[in-house]
Amino acid sequence: MSDFQEVTESTPKVQVNPYGPNPSDFLSNVQNFQLIESTLREGEQFANAFFTTEKKIEIAKALDDFGVDYIELTSPVASEQSKKDCEAICKLGLKAKILTHIRCHMDDARVAVETGVDGVDVVIGTSKFLRQYSHGKDMNYISKAAIEVIEFVKSKGLEIRFSSEDSFRSDLVDLLNIYKTVDKIGVNRIGIADTVGCANPRQVYELVRTLKSVVSCDIECHFHNDTGCAIANAYTALEGGARLIDVSVLGIGERNGITPLGGLMARMIVAAPDYVKSKYKLHKLRDLETLVAEAVEVNIPFNNPITGFCAFTHKAGIHAKAILANPSTYEILNPSDFGMTRYIHFANRLTGWNAIKSRVDQLNLHLTDAQCKEVTAKIKKLGDIRPLNIDDVDSIIKDYHAEVSTPVIKSKKKSSDDVDEIDISKPAAKKSKLSE
Ligand X SMILES: O=C(O)CCC(=O)C(=O)O
Nearer to ligand X, 73 or 434 (CB): 73
Q: Judged by CB under 6 A, does residue 165 bind ligand X?
A: yes
Q: Looking at 57, 78, 230, 231, which residue binds ligand ACO (CB under 6 A)?
A: 78
Q: Which of 222, 224, 314, 319 is catalytic?
A: 319
Amino acid at 193: A
Give the contact letters, 216-245, x = binds to ligand X (CB under 6 A), - = no.
------x-x---------------------
Q: Judged by CB under 6 A, does residue 42 bind ligand X?
A: yes
Distance CA 3, CA 328 (A): 7
Q: Longest C-alpha distance within the chain, in Å? A: 95
Q: Is 319 a catalytic residue?
A: yes
Contact partners, residue 405, CB within 8 Å, separation at least 6? none
Distance CA 3, CA 25 (A): 22
Distance CA 386, CA 248 (A): 41
Range 94-153, binding ligand ACO (CB under 6 A) = 103-105, 123-125, 134-135
220: phi then psi, degrees, rounded to nearest 5:
-110, 145
Taking CB under 6 A as the binding criterion, the range among 130-138, 191-199, 300-308, 386-394 that sits at the site for ligand X is: 191-199
Taking CB under 6 A as the binding criterion, the range among 51-59, 187-195, 333-341, 403-411 that sits at the site for ligand X is: 187-195
Q: Judged by CB under 6 A, does residue 44 bind ligand X?
A: no
Distance of CA 160 to the CA centre of its chain: 26
Q: Judged by CB under 6 A, does residue 77 bind ligand ACO?
A: yes
Q: Judged by CB under 6 A, does residue 195 bind ligand X?
A: yes
Q: Judged by CB under 6 A, does residue 121 bind ligand X?
A: yes
Distance CA 415, CA 290 (A): 45
**Pair 202, 234: CB distance under 8 Å:** no
Distance CA 99, CA 161 (A): 10
Range 254-293, binding ligand ACO (CB under 6 A) = 254
Nearer to ligand ACO, 107 or 418 (CB): 107
Give the contact letters, 161-190, x = binds to ligand ACO (CB under 6 A), - = no.
----x-------------------------
Dihedral sign for Cα 42, 48, 53, 59, please: negative
H helical segments located in 272-368 = 273-279, 285-295, 317-325, 353-362
Distance CA 3, CA 17 (A): 9
Task: Please state the closest distance from residue 87 (CB atom) to Zn ion, in A.
Answer: 23
Binding residues for ligand X (CB under 6 A): 42, 101, 121, 123, 163, 165, 191, 193, 195, 222, 224
Binding residues for ligand ACO (CB under 6 A): 45, 75, 77-78, 103-105, 123-125, 134-135, 165, 195, 254
Binding residues for Zn ion (CB under 5 A): 42
